[in-house]
């Protein structure tokens, strides 16, 4: 915990609200300051580009990006061979090597383009990744790049969901906004500048649910954004208790995979549409769900490749590793960057008519893969837990290549028959040699950032 966090934790409650609002004032300027409205207009204008327009736009942007990287960015200038440099001049990615996280983690400054100036504020912004699979990566941004990342969300995330960042909203994220772990409420802090309530993910329990709901209504919150699991848990608690539930226009799920169970729970509890957003702290890729339920990749944020282990492109419906080349962040450009996520393309045109590529699904992180006794890789688990009475949430723990434990949080409705269904479904996916047990637990711990992990692997990396 940093010194400012320690000071914040000692403040009386009214001053904590004030501190959050002061923090919000600074970030409001950084995120929505000069140039933001023009960026929003640009994303809105490109929203209905046809396929030819997108292809031309991407080719121009890619040639500019790759030429600058080859000539000015130390890492690329020093590591790309002649074939990669020739490919860069032509705007071709295929000849350029993949970028692992380790070089970026070791020295992020070698990825800075000296021809780019941070602009106001004079110092660039630094955001570390969560580091859930190792040492955090330091990403370095300009304020205008941050505004671009918010502008695309205003148009294609909030906007497609019928809301705006100008509307009062609820946020569930990994911030420790309620410092006392034994607090009896309130379980949020209020950012008066943005009319945003930061809710604690770490105090979300059945006995606190109605206090959370009361805060939604007190502040007139009309939509929510953040961790899908948190909105789902709150909704489930309120439904089970028959309590009064705030009605929202939409919830935009970020940072965690949105399961169909969570989607249905949120829709039922809050009477709203639920939309999925996929991105990463590196901001090299952005995808958002349209009104017809398709997860569209924004071509003006970056180019996504989905690759097999041998580096060849996957076909529609085939799961592979996401490799991203980002257009928004030019101060620290990331080219053919292995984000660490798995996904699959769809080849079905969307009824919305947008000519943006569609992801069939984002499966999860590379480290969320289970390895079966016969070596098979398993990435999809939502079907294992579908319609199990009394099951609140579950996590799979891989002990060895043969032994698996499914941790479950349950109500009194859960019984041996439900456990048997889980075991049978796991064996269907992992093979008959798998040994699976179901272990009821009081709760499933979140990460330090408050995120839910679907898989915990105890295998050597």
Give per-residue pLDDT as tens, 347-402: 999 999 999 999 998 887 665 678 889 877 776 566 688 778 988 888 999 999 99
CA dihedral 327, 169, 31, 166 (to 10 degrees): 100
**Final residue belonging to a domain, choices 340, 364, 388:** 364
The pLDDT of residue 194 is above 70: yes
162 shares its domain with 244? yes
State phi, psi for 282 to the nearest 5 degrees: -70, -20
Write out the two tokens for 338.
């292995």
**338-347 per-position pLDDT tens digit:** 998 889 999 9
pLDDT given for residue 159 in this prediction: 97
Please tell me the predicted confidence (pLDDT) of residue 55.
Answer: 96
Last-in-domain residue among 314, 344, 364: 364
186 prior amide bond cis, ω within 30: yes
pLDDT-derived band at 132 (thresholds 50, 70, 90) equals very low
Question: How long a stretch of residues is the chain?
Answer: 461
Q: Which residue has the higher pLDDT, 131 or 168?
A: 168
Are residues 344 and 417 both part of a single domain? no
Given a cut of 50, is residue 134 above it in pLDDT?
A: no
State residue 163 phi and psi, 5-degree precision: -135, 180
What CATH number did the domain enclosing 100 receive? 3.40.50.12780
Res 240: pLDDT: 94
Q: Tokens representing 316?
A: 């529609």
Answer yes or no: is pLDDT of 213 > 70: yes
> If pLDDT is split at 50, 70 and 90, which confidence band does 176 have?
confident
Domain containing 402 — which CATH number?
3.30.300.30
- Domain shared by 349 and 418, yes or no: no
pLDDT in tens, 290-315: 999 999 999 999 999 999 989 999 99
pLDDT mean over 41-65? 96
Asked if 412 and 311 sit in the same domain, the reply is no
337 and 359 fall within a common domain: yes
pLDDT for position 329: 96
pLDDT at 133: 44
Number of separate domains in the chain: 2
**125 and 68 both lie in a single domain:** yes
What pLDDT is stored for residue 160 in this prediction? 97
Instruction: Please give the pLDDT value at position 335.
Output: 98
Compute how many other C-beta atoms are within 10 angstroms of the C-beta atom of residue 82. Answer: 8
Tell me, yes or no, whether 299 and 350 share the same domain: yes
Considering the domain architecture, whether residues 223 and 269 belong to the same structural domain is answered as yes
Of 335, 364, 393, which residue sits at a domain end?
Answer: 364
pTM for the full predicted model: 0.83
Contact 453, 367 (CB under 8 A): no
Assign 122 a pLDDT band (cuts: 50, 70, 90).
low
Interval 85-106 mean pLDDT: 92
Both structure tokens of 99: 């970028």
Residues 359 and 380 in one domain: no
Number of CB atoms found within 10 A of residue 396's CB: 23
| Residue 10 domain boundaries | 3-364
* Rounded Cα gap, residues 5 and 217, in angstroms: 28
Q: What is the pLDDT of residues 233-280, one digit of tens each?
A: 999 999 999 999 999 999 999 987 788 889 999 999 999 999 999 998
- Average pLDDT value over all residues in the chain: 91
Cβ 143 vs Cβ 277: under 8 Å: no
The pLDDT value given to residue 2: 58
In this prediction, residue 461 carries a pLDDT of: 61
Does residue 339 sit in the same domain as residue 209? Answer: yes
With cut-offs at 50, 70 and 90, classify the pLDDT of residue 428: confident
* pLDDT of res. 175: 80
In this prediction, residue 222 has a pLDDT band, given cuts at 50, 70 and 90, of very high
Q: 119 — phi, psi (to 5°)?
A: 75, -175
Q: Is the per-residue pLDDT at 417 higher than 90?
A: yes
Of the listed ranges 131-135, 170-174, 232-236, the least confidently predicted one is 131-135
Contact between residue 411 and residue 388 where contact means Cβ atoms under 8 Å apart: no
Asked if residue 439 and residue 299 are part of one domain, the reply reads no
Cβ atoms within 10 Å of 136's Cβ, excluding its own: 14
Regarding whether 320 and 388 lie in a shared domain, the answer is no
76 pLDDT band, cuts 50/70/90, is very high
């Amino acid at each position: 915990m940093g010194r400012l966090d320690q000071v914040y934790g000692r403040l009386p409650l009214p001053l904590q609200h004030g501190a959050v609002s002061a923090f919000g004032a600074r970030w409001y300027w950084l995120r929505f300051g000069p140039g933001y409205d023009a960026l929003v207009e640009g994303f809105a204008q490109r929203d209905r580009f046809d396929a030819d327009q997108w292809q031309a736009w991407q080719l121009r942007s890619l040639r500019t990006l790759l030429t600058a990287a080859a000539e000015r960015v130390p890492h690329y200038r020093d590591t790309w061979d002649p074939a990669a440099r020739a490919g860069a001049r032509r705007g071709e990615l295929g000849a350029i090597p993949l970028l692992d996280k380790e070089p970026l983690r070791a020295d992020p400054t070698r990825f800075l383009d000296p021809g780019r100036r941070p602009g106001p504020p004079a110092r660039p912004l630094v955001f570390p990744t969560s580091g859930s699979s190792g040492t955090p990566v330091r990403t370095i941004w300009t304020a205008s790049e941050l505004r671009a990342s918010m502008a695309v969300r205003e148009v294609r995330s909030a906007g497609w969901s019928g809301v705006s960042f100008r509307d009062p909203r609820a946020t569930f994220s990994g911030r420790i906004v309620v410092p006392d772990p034994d607090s009896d409420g309130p379980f949020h802090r209020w950012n008066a500048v943005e009319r945003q309530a930061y809710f604690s993910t770490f105090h979300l329990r059945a006995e606190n649910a109605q206090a959370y709901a009361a805060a939604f209504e007190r502040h007139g919150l009309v939509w929510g954004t953040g961790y899908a699991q948190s909105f789902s848990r709150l909704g489930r608690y309120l439904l089970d208790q028959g309590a009064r539930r705030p009605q929202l226009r939409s919830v935009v799920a970020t940072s965690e995979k949105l399961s169909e169970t969570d989607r249905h729970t949120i829709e039922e509890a809050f009477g709203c549409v639920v939309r999925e957003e996929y991105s990463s702290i590196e901001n090299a890729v952005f995808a958002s769900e349209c009104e017809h339920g398709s997860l569209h990749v924004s071509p003006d944020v970056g180019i996504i490749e989905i690759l097999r282990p041998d580096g060849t492109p996957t076909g529609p419906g085939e799961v592979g590793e996401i490799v991203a080349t980002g257009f928004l962040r030019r101060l620290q450009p990331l080219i053919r960057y292995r984000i660490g996520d798995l996904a699959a393309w769809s080849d079905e045109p969307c009824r919305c008519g947008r000519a943006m590529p569609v992801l069939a699904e984002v499966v999860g992180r590379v480290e969320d893969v289970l390895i079966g006794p016969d070596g098979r890789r398993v990435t999809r688990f939502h079907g294992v837990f579908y319609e199990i009475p009394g099951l609140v949430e579950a996590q799979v723990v891989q002990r060895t290549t043969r032994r698996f434990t499914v941790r479950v949080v349950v109500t009194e409705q859960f019984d041996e028959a439900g456990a048997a269904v889980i075991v049978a479904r796991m064996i269907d996916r992992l093979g008959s040699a798998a040994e699976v047990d179901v272990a009821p637990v009081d709760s499933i711990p979140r990460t330090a950032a408050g995120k839910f992990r679907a898989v915990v692997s105890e295998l050597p990396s």
